[in-house]
Structure 1
Amino acid sequence: MKPNLLRQNRIQRASFAILCVVTLFSSLESVNAQSVCLPAPRLLTTMPMGGQTGSTIEVTITGQNLDAAEDLIFSHPGITSKKQVDANGQPIPLKYEVTIATDCPTGIHEAYVMTRLGVSSSRVFTVSKRPEVVRTKPNTTLETAMLLEVNSLCNAVMTKQSIDYYTFNAEKNQRIVVDCGAEGIDSKLKPVLIVADENGGDLLVERRGGAIDFTAPETATYVIKVHDLTYNGGAEYFYRLSLQELSPDEQVERLPSIQLVNSFSWPPSQYTEETLEAETEPNNQSIEAQQISLPCLISGNFYPAADVDTFEFEAKKGEVWWVEVASERMGRQTDPFVLVQHVGKEGEQEKLTDIAELNDIPSPVKVSSNGYSYDGPPYNAGSTDVLGKVEIKEDGIHRLQLRDLFGGTRNDPSNDYRLIIRKANPDFALVGWALHMNLRNGDRNALSKPLALRGGTTMPIEVVVVRRDGFDGEIDIEMTGLPTGVSATGLKIPAGQSRGILLVTAEVQAPRGLSQASVLGKALINDQNVVRPCSMASMQWPVVNAAQEIPSPRLLTQVPVSVCEIEGAPVSIAAAEDKVWKVLEGETLTIPLAHTHRCDFSGAIISLKTYGAGFEKVPSFDAPLNKATSEAVLDLKTLKTPPGEYTIAFYGSAVAKYQDCLEAVAEAEKALADAKAEVEKLSKESLELAEVAKTVTGDDKPIAEKNVQESNAKLKTAQAEVVAAEKKLKAATVRAKPKDIVDIVVSKPIRIRVKPAGKS
């Protein structure tokens, strides 16, 4: 398919997909969304969103389920915090004093909070070398515009249905780059940037998230306007506005940004740019083709608009080359396309024979068709970049054309790429995420799911692989660096498949703890043991209704894992004995299961399926939710499971009658009892003092009356405390009232040894 036809086809498919999603959402409008996933702590905002090296700043946070928030923790040890305290030395909730070391690396870091339920989801915290300020006053008119210094950063929250105004002073011919960090720092803001004259007349406008490269025509005061593309705003629409002076020939560097999920597969292992060769323009036409020799690593960019970069090389029949292009995975809004042709002769005319069209790295697994977890994960590990094979059919000159399929509307010199042409180097890249539920009954959640484990919980992590250059072997998954009482069991990615499951289990009695974990994949490639890191991804925001908001996942820089002691899993399922279960090939294995219930459930049974290669075709079976035992029957004759060592787990979903923060009820009851006891004590004391005051005469009379007044004042305060305690108890009781919440239930991993038939 020629590129222009391919482009038209993709537009048609995209339009049809959008129509399908709109139709689906419309059909579900009448269905009530079901509450899914037990409460988890989530850090939603920090203000400011970053700071300068060598500074100490005040940071205020907001989030979900941040009860008893403790330390504000950062992904780099060069950023530390302590709680802010009031005049009486008492901690101020959700306020911290954050210190950034002078040698702390600049760029993207992450912040998260330890709470009663464990570690929260993270929020980006950016470190810079430049002075930073926080906007504290409204600036929604030209008259109230905030003055900014050049070479500084301003942290702010977008004002809803308004424009935020700033001013700066510039000398004639001074080059100023105005940039707005938003989506790249987890914000929901889609910024529109405008540089205007001092009267507010627009000079330059950027509506697609880019920076404005502005050279002042005169020495004057200039205006910056910032607003959301749809004029939305609020606490989740934060941004960092940057003004930076550059010399005329200096390259623009954008503000640091998060990495999207698909960037996990770039760069290849052992990648280095030491042999990088620059693309040389002009090379759009065949007569201008840049001559290269293979293998090669080329740096270029899709610029100007409609740019086509053409390269020629010699190759021999039977050779196999792998072509990889990275651009979208480097954070660029591009869609690379590669066409490889053999260049021959037909008389005096050039004869071109297409031998390969390469486009898009497909997702390793089927992605959800509507943005949330419906018929697949709400994460896309595929990319619009290129990774494919070129088989040479005959000797001679070959021409490679590289273009951005939608580059006709993009005129951005920062849209660079890397082109690699190499002999086969079999390898793999991994990414994982906390598994989401596949519900089709109106649930539209796409939630950030921190690895905050309750005792007795097994949390499943879905791990997928992008395979390189023909590698097709099995991959073992493991997780290290876990807290005490937590273990991880990797259910391997089988040969030829693209998905595996990692099970993270907290023992029932696991102590409260937090650690930084690592996830790894191990494989045998060309008789060599190969170990590769597994990136982890999470949702930027907990989306409760994907019909109204598009989920936006990203990669994490760290993998914090925590255990809370205060709550246990609603139900834990495990084999009755912790051992290796042995069975002969082709026979039936019955595994007794033990259930530990910690709450009531809606419904009497849970339907269980099976994780684990060799056993994933076990028919689903029912287990009781009101009994302490059940059993799983595995028919190896039907499954045709070959001899070997296996690890499996059973999983399903159940609706728990969850009681949130139950311990708060007991604490509130005790506080109310103590307050009532104090009232009773002070009431008795006041009566006694009043009786004494009646009998006292002379100079002692005023003293006695004063004692009565003071006692009555204490009594009044104590009575107010009773009222407050009653309100707290009522709120705690309402919060602890059982609520139907559906969640994933996964058994503790079970080990099985299948022996060859005929052996005891």
Structure 2
Amino acid sequence: MRTSVLTLALCAASLVDAIPGVAQQVCLPMPRLLTVTPMGGRAGTIVEVAITHQHVDAAQELLFSTPTITAKPVLAADGKPVPDRFVVTIAPDAPLGVHDARILSRLGVSSPRAFAVGDLQEVVRTASNTSIAAALPLPLNSICNATTTDRAIDFYSFRAVKGGRVVVECNTLGIDSKLNAVVIVADAEGNDLLVSRNGGLLDFTPPRDGTYLVKVHGLAFQGGSEQIYRLSLREVPGTGPAARQDVTRRVSAFSWPPEGLSAQALTADTEPNDGPGPPQKISLPCDISGSFVPANDADVFEFPAKKGDVWWVEVASERLGMNTDPFVLVQRVTTTDGKETLTDVAELDDIAHPMKPGTFIPASTYTGPPYISGSPDVLGKITIPEDGIYRLRLHDLLGGPGTDAGSIYRLVIRQASPDFALVSWAAHLQMR
């Protein structure tokens, strides 16, 4: 009997030794910061925010990617911290734009969430505004922080004068929101005047003095704490492209900006330059900023060139966050007996994918970047066939009645020279 028991014990011990060590590993969940509300604040102010999270037992600190934004827990009457509430101090010199917010807990530092810093008055919606009668009044040149209401429409009102220019923008995806927003400008009775179903800009010119409405809802009328948005109303002078709210940039393409390119273009396009009038005359190399506004706008530039010259033509618009698809046509101009003739030299369209996207099967191996690295923007070369005058025509293939008022572009023409691009990507996918 003793021999049998000893044999069983030895067999059990050998089985335990045979179990791989990896089977004993335990993976702790990654802390995730889900929302920060309000989603931003004005530089030089103090904001009280509430957070939601996952896999966090208790948020010890709220951290930001810039030292000009700090946070302390909200204290209750007994001096103890109120769970998930912080007082955020934004310094007057805090950089305008989008910054990362993270929470520190016993499991480590969480994934980031966007926190925007602006220079406009900030408003936080606190009461229901799902009817015209309950519309929340907003002053011009302000930003309202809110979440959509489930199966309802959020109403806002504002005063405007005839002939002015009011730009309405609902920022969602650029601040880590899950909301696909529909934004409508309506008259005081609720009759729609302008509609955007892709979260773009609405460039509104009031037909008369009075009160107007802004309606906001999800594309599928969804609501919830993660359906956040920042609604801005701004008075914009002139007729040029309207600036957008700062947003996070998605990683979908590389090669922008080119090495040595200044932050701002050296020249702006001059309207009218879309024909049949005279084109805008330029000299190469050049760096020009412009916009695809109004709808179906095409900008034409004219320049002299010599036979054998090789020029690289690059247009950035989609890579600047625009919903655009630029197209370039280069033509040679010849004049005979006062009659002008245009001969096509080159057509430039999308940027091809320089690297094949990676495969994710099996999940442990990555053979390339986990994104498509091409772009609808333009990058290509032209070789000048003869001395003479040439024209470059630039337009948006997606341009139409629904053209976004903020559809800007940057045109860069430079001489060909050796170049390379360095691309890096994470070895593992990260959840935000």
Q: Residue 434 of structure 1 aligns to which amino acid in structure 2?
A: A
The question of whether the paired residues in 2 share the 8 Å contact of 1:286 and 1:310 is answered with no
Query: SS of the residue aligned with 1:265?
Result: coil
Deviates more, 1:416-425 or 1:200-209: 200-209
Structure 2 partner of 1:514 = none
Report the Cα distance in structure 1 between the residues aligned to 2:210 and 2:303, rounded to whole angstroms: 54
Report the Cα distance in structure 2 between the residues aligned to 1:191 and 1:266, rounded to whole angstroms: 28
**Are 1:290 and 2:280 an aligned pair?**
yes
Shift of 1:203: 3.2
Structure 2 partner of 1:433 = 425
Higher share in helix: 1
Query: SS of the residue aligned with 1:125?
Result: strand
Q: Residue 424 of structure 2 aligns to which amino acid in structure 1?
A: G
Match among 30, 36, 43 for residue 40 of structure 1: 30
Report the Cα distance in structure 2 between the residues aligned to 1:304 and 1:188, rounded to whole angstroms: 30
**Are 1:301 and 2:295 an aligned pair?**
no
**Are 1:418 and 2:410 an aligned pair?**
yes
Structure 2 partner of 1:196 = 186
Report the Cα distance in structure 1 between the residues aligned to 2:242 and 2:277, rounded to whole angstroms: 32
Shift of 1:187: 1.2
Structure 2 partner of 1:395 = 387
Structure 2 partner of 1:151 = 141
Deviates more, 1:423-432 or 1:298-307: 423-432
Structure 1 partner of 2:153 = 163
Structure 1 partner of 2:13 = none
Q: Which has the larger radius of gyration?
A: 1
Taking only the aligned residue pairs, the percentage that are identical comes to: 54
Describe the shift of the 1:281–1:131 C-alpha distance in structure 2 as closer, same or farther (beyond 3 A).
closer
Shift of 1:250: 8.0
Equivalent residues in 2 for 1:718-729, closer than 5 Å = none
Report the Cα distance in structure 1 between the residues aligned to 2:296 and 2:178, rounded to whole angstroms: 30
For structure 2, the residue ranges without an aligned partner over 5 or more in a row are 1-26
- How many residues end up aligned between the 2 structures? 403
Equivalent residues in 2 for 1:596-611, closer than 5 Å = none
Match among 371, 374, 377 for residue 379 of structure 1: 371
The question of whether the paired residues in 1 share the 8 Å contact of 2:242 and 2:405 is answered with no
TM-score (norm 2): 0.81
Shift of 1:298: 2.2
Query: SS of the residue aligned with 2:319?
Result: helix
Report the Cα distance in structure 2 between the residues aligned to 1:102 and 1:75, rounded to whole angstroms: 16
Structure 2 partner of 1:363 = 353
Shift of 1:218: 4.8
Shift of 1:130: 2.8
Report the Cα distance in structure 1 between the residues aligned to 2:212 and 2:198, rounded to whole angstroms: 21
Structure 2 partner of 1:551 = none
Structure 1 partner of 2:18 = none
Report the Cα distance in structure 1 between the residues aligned to 2:164 and 2:277, rounded to whole angstroms: 41
The question of whether the paired residues in 1 share the 8 Å contact of 2:369 and 2:424 is answered with no
**Are 1:69 and 2:34 an aligned pair?**
no
Give RMSD over aligned pairs. 3.2
Structure 1 partner of 2:42 = 52
Equivalent residues in 2 for 1:552-563, closer than 5 Å = none
Q: Residue 398 of structure 1 aligns to which amino acid in structure 2?
A: Y
Q: Residue 378 of structure 2 aligns to which amino acid in structure 1?
A: V
Structure 1 partner of 2:270 = 280
Query: SS of the residue aligned with 1:136?
Result: coil
Describe the shift of the 1:219–1:311 C-alpha distance in structure 2 as closer, same or farther (beyond 3 A).
closer
Shift of 1:161: 1.6
The question of whether the paired residues in 2 share the 8 Å contact of 1:320 and 1:390 is answered with yes
Report the Cα distance in structure 2 between the residues aligned to 1:299 and 1:182, rounded to whole angstroms: 26
Structure 1 partner of 2:90 = 100
Describe the shift of the 1:409–1:166 C-alpha distance in structure 2 as closer, same or farther (beyond 3 A).
closer
Q: Residue 97 of structure 1 aligns to which amino acid in structure 2?
A: V
- What's the CA shift string for 1:580-618, capped at 9, x where partnerless? xxxxxxxxxxxxxxxxxxxxxxxxxxxxxxxxxxxxxxx
The question of whether the paired residues in 2 share the 8 Å contact of 1:260 and 1:329 is answered with no
TM-score (norm 1): 0.48
Deviates more, 1:63-72 or 1:171-180: 171-180
User: Comparing both chains, which one has the higher relative contact order based on Cα–Cα distances under 8 Å and sequence gaps of 6 or more?
Assistant: 2
Query: SS of the residue aligned with 2:329?
Result: strand
**Are 1:406 and 2:398 an aligned pair?**
yes
For structure 1, the residue ranges without an aligned partner over 5 or more in a row are 1-36, 437-445, 449-540, 542-760
Q: Residue 202 of structure 1 aligns to which amino acid in structure 2?
A: D
Report the Cα distance in structure 1 between the residues aligned to 2:332 and 2:235, rounded to whole angstroms: 48
Equivalent residues in 2 for 1:252-267, closer than 5 Å = 252-262=242-252, 264-267=254-257
Describe the shift of the 1:249–1:143 C-alpha distance in structure 2 as closer, same or farther (beyond 3 A).
same
The question of whether the paired residues in 1 share the 8 Å contact of 2:168 and 2:203 is answered with yes
Shift of 1:431: 4.7
**Are 1:207 and 2:197 an aligned pair?**
yes
Q: Residue 120 of structure 1 aligns to which amino acid in structure 2?
A: S
